[in-house]
Amino acid sequence: MTITLKYFGLLADITQLKEEQFTFDEEAISVSALKSKIESSYQNIQNTSYTIAVNQTMSDLQTTIKDKDVIAFLPPFAGG
């Protein structure tokens, strides 16, 4: 399966990327498993508060990610 990861704000600064493709052997993985993989690849993300959206819907750690999903890593937003 191939998914698209998008990084915003401080998370884009940490990864030095706005977007990347990830390929997994599995047909589906959980948000929790993806979060672990990303945090091991970009260790500074571990010290940052963020939320994860799957296909523009806020997700929890048990949400299942499938082929061609778009995952957004979102920093805290301030209103104003």
All domains of the chain in start order, with CATH: 2-74 (3.10.20.30)
Nearest to 72 by CA among 16, 1, 2, 11: 11
Please tell me the predicted confidence (pLDDT) of residue 78: 64
Nearest to 66 by CA among 18, 38, 24: 24
Cα–Cα distance measured from residue 4 to residue 72, given in angstroms and rounded to the nearest whole number: 8
Within the chain, which residues score under 70 in pLDDT? 78-80
The backbone torsions φ and ψ at residue 73, rounded to the nearest 5 degrees and listed phi first, read -100, 115
Please tell me the predicted confidence (pLDDT) of residue 80: 55
Helix (H, G, I), strand (E, B) or coil at 53: strand
Please tell me the predicted confidence (pLDDT) of residue 79: 60
The letter for the amino acid at 12 is A
